[in-house]
Amino acid sequence: MIRLNQLVKRYGRFTAVDGIDLAVPSGELFGFLGPNGAGKTTTFRMIAGILRPTSGTIEIGGIDINRRPLEAKARLGFIPDRPFVYDKLTGAEFLRFAAALYGQQGPLVERRIDELLELFELTRWKNELTESYSHGMRQKLIISGALVHRPEVIVVDEPMIGLDPRSARLLKDLFRQFVDRGGTVLMSTHTLEVAETMCDRIAIVNGGKIVASGTMSEIQEQTSSEHLGLEDLFLKLTGGMRDHQLDAILGA
């Protein structure tokens, strides 16, 4: 459902994404892990069509986003890491706007909007301006906006940040059911517990490259680290800890 072929993004001489190959089939929840600056958000923004790749190709459901961008984007719901909503729109107006971007409007859309607001416990704030929403409420509105046109693929950058435990659980259940019904989710997260409990497969990215991918046990095998948990595996694959520097800063 999502296929990346030798995807590269350069900013001047700096290579942020350095030849990423990835295939996520439908029915799978895939986790994209990596340290700050590894290239996760850059990769996701290219998939969402916000950034143009330097080279390489991206397919959503077999459709090349460069050749048929509208068709590819219609299948995709993108949830960015920094929730942006228009302050002077109400929750309902924002969702109507999001649906209209995909050419959808009318009674079916209105019903869908009501269902999404209900699911995320925003019904009471349906007609309030989003400037009065809390951070988590905005995040939930953005998530609703990415679902309103019934995408087949969800690409989501750090979804759990700022969500209360109840909403985080709701999102976990939502993504699981979404993939169980044939959807595809590509998700970045720094919360290794989230990755371990939610994801069918993961990739660990470092310096713009995938350094390991597969199921947890496949990665353990690939790296001859059968005894390591995800945290230690992550640290091993992305440069380890720097105890001597801590010593230098905190020591007498």
Binding positions for ligand ATP, rule: CB under 6 A: 11, 14, 16, 34, 36-42
Report, in Å, the least distance between residue 14 CB and ligand ATP.
6
Q: Which does 90 bind (CB under 5 to 8 A by kind): ligand ATP, Mg ion, none?
A: none
Span of 38-46, 141-149, 171-179, 208-216 interacting with Mg ion by CB under 5 A? 38-46
Q: Which one among 1, 7, 31, 41 touches Mg ion, defined by CB under 5 A?
A: 41
Report, in Å, the least distance between residue 62 CB and ligand ATP.
26
The H-or-E segment that residue 118 falls in is helix 107-119
Q: Which does 86 bind (CB under 5 to 8 A by kind): ligand ATP, Mg ion, none?
A: none
Other Cβ atoms less than 10 A from the Cβ of 215: the count is 12
The conformation of residue 158, written as its DSSP 8-state character, comes to: S
Q: Which is nearer to ligand ATP, 170 or 192 (CB)?
A: 192
Q: Which residues contact 131 (CB under 8 A, 6 or more apart)?
A: 87, 88
Q: Three-state DSSP class for 22?
A: strand
Report, in Å, the least distance between residue 133 CB and ligand ATP.
23
Span of 41-49, 65-73, 178-186, 226-234 interacting with Mg ion by CB under 5 A? 41-49
Q: Which is nearer to Mg ion, 39 or 145 (CB)?
A: 39
Q: Which residues contact 152 (CB under 8 A, 6 or more apart)?
A: 1, 26, 61, 75, 76, 182, 183, 184
Span of 35-43, 62-70, 119-127, 217-225 interacting with Mg ion by CB under 5 A? 35-43
Report, in Å, the least distance between residue 38 CB and ligand ATP.
4
Degrees, nearest 5: CA angle 100-105-109: 110
Report, in Å, the least distance between residue 156 CB and ligand ATP.
13
Q: Which residues contact 13 (CB under 8 A, 6 or more apart)?
A: none
As a whole number of angstroms, the distance between CA 124 and CA 189 comes to 30
Q: Which is nearer to ligand ATP, 70 or 235 (CB)?
A: 235
Q: Which is nearer to ligand ATP, 5 or 15 (CB)?
A: 15
Beta strands 14-24 and 2-11 are antiparallel
Is the alpha carbon torsion for 81, 200, 1, 120 positive or negative? negative
As a whole number of angstroms, the distance between CA 6 and CA 67 comes to 17
Q: Which is nearer to ligand ATP, 42 or 220 (CB)?
A: 42
Q: Which is nearer to ligand ATP, 36 or 217 (CB)?
A: 36
Binding site for Mg ion (CB under 5 A): 40-41
